[in-house]
């Protein structure tokens, strides 16, 4: 029988997130040179997390 998710250690349940938060997307776009200060933070282009 498997163990319930709430009883597992916290490190064992952590997995790589497929969705980035807005500030993470802005950081990636800044690194690529695709975002400048003063640009809108809504309607950002799609980004993939750095591997």
pLDDT at 44: 86
pLDDT at 13: 54
Non-local CB neighbours of 45 within 8 Å, separated by 6+ positions:
29, 34
Q: What is the pLDDT of residues 1-51, one digit of tens each?
A: 788 888 877 765 566 778 889 999 999 999 999 888 888 888 888 888 775
Q: How far apart are the first and last CA of the chain?
A: 34
pTM: 0.61
């Amino acid at each position: 029988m498997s163990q319930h998710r709430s009883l597992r250690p916290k490190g064992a349940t952590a997995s790589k997130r497929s969705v980035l938060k807005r500030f993470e997307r802005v950081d990636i776009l800044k690194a690529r040179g695709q975002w400048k200060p003063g640009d809108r933070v809504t309607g950002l282009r799609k980004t993939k997390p750095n591997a």
